[in-house]
């Protein structure tokens, strides 16, 4: 059996090194299923893996991609589940950006029926990261404050929506905030501020010194400024470093404010927790999708043959929402 897949044979600039190739994947055996790609998401972590800078790299040549959904189109001999026609998570390994995958049928996660494909395709990296950041480090309740930079990202969207549903107030920092303020306020953001206009003293006054938890996706001066706005004994969690600048932790805030700087990586969390814990997280996510709590914009959808164009678009700051691949 042949499939068209997004393959890179070296690490480098994604739009240049990833090509759509036809490869042989064999036939499904007993206990296996054939899954056809419906929607796959291009995430910053995909760009990092292709570029060779991510925390975990695949041996080359590699099929790219880690997130999306597909349809079960065939089953191996004596295999009954999941039923043909079921919508499932695309297995992230050995690579999700493939027209067809042959998978272990028993490990496929079946998506609840009747949910929009686009948001379901985005459900496996950013929403669980958002939930874990909100639930693991500090106990936030209605009326508490949360701050994040990179707030215009998909993760930023999910954080705002979950916080709104829980009554948690948010400070949202991003570049060119004026162009995105109305958009973020419409989904529940309380304060939207431009990186260049961030005044830690003013933010601390507006939040009554009750910023208990922060999320850093940027690094550099952005997180240093955020630290100065935090309340006592607060925690700032880093999940990314878009500017690649070192985080300079102001020592006085460590000593006099008992501030904590932590890190989180969903890949590691998923590998180090049992299936029951992971299942509970995804139950919550799909309940929020069903209830209309979680939504996210899609910038564009490209066919697999144009994966180079899709990767080029995903690397542009001007996009609004996720770039996806489909068949």
What integer best gives the mean pLDDT of the chain?
A: 93
Q: What are phi and psi of 273, to 5 degrees?
A: -125, 150
Please tell me the distance from the alpha carbon of residue 111 to that of residue 172, in angstroms, as a whole number: 31
Strands 32-42 and 322-326: antiparallel
Is the model's pLDDT at 260 over the cut of 70? yes
Does residue 240 belong to any structural domain of this protein?
Answer: yes
Q: What is the mean pLDDT of residues 111-134?
A: 96
Q: What is the mean pLDDT of residues 309-325?
A: 91
CATH of the domain at 249: 3.40.50.720
Is the model's pLDDT at 241 over the cut of 90? no
Residue 20: what pLDDT? Answer: 96
Does residue 112 belong to any structural domain of this protein?
Answer: yes
- Pair (89, 135) in one structural domain: no
- Pair (135, 251) in one structural domain: yes
Structure-model confidence comparison of residues 223 and 234, the more confident one: 234
Buried b (16+ CB within 10 A) or exposed e, 294-327: bebebbeebebeebbebbbbbeeeeeebbbbbbb
CB 214 within 8 A of CB 170: no
- Pair (166, 248) in one structural domain: yes
CA proximity to 189, closest of 209, 173, 207, 208: 173
The reply to whether 302 belongs to the active site is no
Is the model's pLDDT at 246 over the cut of 80? no
Is the model's pLDDT at 254 over the cut of 90? no
Q: Which tens digit of pLDDT belongs to each residue from 36-61?
A: 999 999 999 999 999 998 888 999 99
Structure-model confidence comparison of residues 253 and 263, the more confident one: 263
Does residue 290 belong to any structural domain of this protein?
Answer: no
Is the model's pLDDT at 117 over the cut of 70? yes
What are 119's strand-pairing partners? none
- Pair (139, 111) in one structural domain: no
- Pair (132, 224) in one structural domain: yes
Is the model's pLDDT at 64 over the cut of 90? yes
Does residue 203 belong to any structural domain of this protein?
Answer: yes
Residue 276: what pLDDT? Answer: 92
- Pair (309, 255) in one structural domain: no
Does residue 219 belong to any structural domain of this protein?
Answer: yes
- Confidence at 286, pLDDT banded by 50, 70, 90: very high
Q: What is the mean pLDDT of residues 17-30?
A: 95
CB 112 within 8 A of CB 59: no
Q: Which tens digit of pLDDT belongs to each residue from 143-202?
A: 999 999 999 999 999 999 999 999 999 999 998 899 999 999 999 999 999 999 999 999
E strands, 16-99, where?
18-24, 32-42, 62-63, 68-75, 87-89
Residue 151: what pLDDT? Answer: 92
Is the model's pLDDT at 244 over the cut of 80? no
Does residue 274 belong to any structural domain of this protein?
Answer: no
Cα-Cα end-to-end distance for the chain: 17
Residue 245: what pLDDT? Answer: 64
- Pair (83, 177) in one structural domain: no
Task: Supply the range of the domain harboring residue 172.
Answer: 126-267
Buried b (16+ CB within 10 A) or exposed e, 119-140: bbbbbbbbbbbbbbbbeebbeb
Residue 243: what pLDDT? Answer: 60
- Pair (141, 105) in one structural domain: no
DSSP assignment of 40-95, as one string? EEE-HHHHHHHHT-SSS-PPSSEE----EEEEEEEE-TT---SPTT-EEEPP-SS-
Residue 100: what pLDDT? Answer: 96
Of the residues 11, 54, 81, 157, only one is catalytic, namely 54
Residue 165: what pLDDT? Answer: 97
Number of domains in the chain: 2
């Amino acid at each position: 059996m042949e499939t068209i897949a997004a393959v890179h044979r070296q690490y480098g600039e994604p739009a240049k090194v990833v090509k759509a190739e036809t490869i042989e994947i064999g036939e499904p055996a007993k206990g296996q299923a054939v899954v056809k790609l419906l929607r796959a998401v291009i995430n910053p972590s995909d760009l990092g893996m292709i570029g060779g800078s991510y925390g975990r790299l695949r041996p080359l040549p590699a099929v790219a991609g880690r997130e999306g959904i597909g349809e079960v189109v065939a089953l191996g001999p004596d295999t009954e589940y999941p039923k043909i026609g079921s919508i499932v998570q695309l297995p992230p390994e050995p690579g999700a950006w493939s027209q067809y995958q042959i998978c272990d049928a028993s490990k496929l996660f079946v998506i609840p029926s009747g949910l929009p494909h686009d948001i379901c395709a985005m459900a496996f990296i950013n929403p669980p990261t958002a939930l874990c950041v909100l639930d693991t480090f500090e106990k936030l309740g209605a009326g508490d404050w949360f701050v994040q930079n990179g707030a215009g990202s998909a993760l930023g969207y999910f954080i705002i929506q979950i916080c709104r549903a829980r009554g948690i107030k948010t400070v949202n920092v991003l570049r060119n905030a004026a162009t995105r303020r109305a958009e973020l306020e419409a989904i529940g953001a309380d304060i939207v501020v431009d990186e260049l206009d961030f005044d830690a003293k003013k933010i601390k006054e507006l939040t009554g010194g009750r910023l208990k938890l922060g999320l850093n996706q940027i690094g550099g001066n952005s997180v240093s400024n955020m630290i100065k706005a935090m309340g006592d004994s607060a925690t700032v969690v880093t999940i990314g470093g878009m500017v690649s600048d070192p985080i300079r932790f102001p020592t006085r805030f460590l000593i006099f404010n008992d501030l904590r700087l932590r890190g989180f990586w969903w890949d590691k969390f998923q590998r180090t927790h049992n299936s029951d814990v992971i299942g509970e997280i995804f139950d919550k996510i799909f309940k929020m999708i069903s209830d209309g709590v979680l939504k996210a914009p899609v910038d564009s959808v490209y066919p697999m043959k144009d994966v180079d164009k899709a990767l080029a678009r995903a690397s542009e700051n001007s996009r609004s929402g996720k770039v996806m691949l489909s068949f």
